[in-house]
Structure 1
C-alpha cells in the first residue's frame, strides 16, 4: 500500500525548517517572518545561491528519510518551467508535493 501524500502544510513546514537551517548555516540573519511567500530567488531573496543549494540538498535528504524516495529537485524539469519552483517557499513546497504525488502513484 503506497504512503499517503503529506498535507500541503506539512510540506511547507518541511521547506521552512530547511530554510531556517540553510540561513543559520550561511550566517545570514533570519527574517522576522518565514512563510509561503518568502522569496528564495530574485531581488527579495532571503538566500544566496550557496544557501539555496544547501536548502535543496537538505530537502532531498529529508524526503529520502521520511518517504524512502530519492527525488531530485533541481533538474531539467524544474529549470525549464515557466514559473520557477524555487521562487518562493510555497512554490517549492507545491513542487515537492507534485513530485511526491507522481512517485507515490508509480511506487
Structure 2
C-alpha cells in the first residue's frame, strides 16, 4: 500500500508543477523538500497540494483522510517537510483507520 500512496503523492506533486508552473524537483523522490525552511511551497501551495492528495486518495483508494488537521499542525515536526514525511503520515493515518501500509523503505 505504501507504494500506491507514494505514487499518489509524487503524481500530485507533478500535477502541482504543471498546474502552477512550479519546479518541485521530482528527481529527489521522497526527499523532495516541500514545506518549512528548505521547502519550496508556501502555505497556499501546501494547501493546494494537500487537497489534491486527499482527493486522489479518495478517488483511487476509497480512503477519506483529512491531512491538514489540528493533529498534523500540532506535531513538533511537520509531516509536510518532505514527500517522504507526507507519505509516512498518510500511512500512519491509514493504519489508525485499520488499513495497512508497509513500513518505510528509507
TM range (shorter): 0.7 to 0.9
CA contact (8 A) 1:22 1:52 kept: no
The residue aligned with 1:66 is 60
Unaligned runs of 5+ in 1: 1-5
Q: 1:103 aligns with which of 97, 103, 106?
A: 97
Runs of 4+ that moved beyond 3 A: none
Distance 1:32 1:67 in 2: 23
Structure with more contact order per residue of length (Cα contacts < 8 Å, sep ≥ 6): 1
- 1:8-58 deviations in Å (ceiling 9; x for gaps): 232222111111111221112343623111111123223232221111001
Mark the structure with the bigger radius of gyration.
1
Distance 1:90 1:65 in 2: 21
Alpha-carbon RMSD: 1.7
Q: 1:41 aligns with which of 14, 30, 35?
A: 35
Alignment of 1:1-107 (within 5 A): 6=1, 8-31=2-25, 33-104=27-98
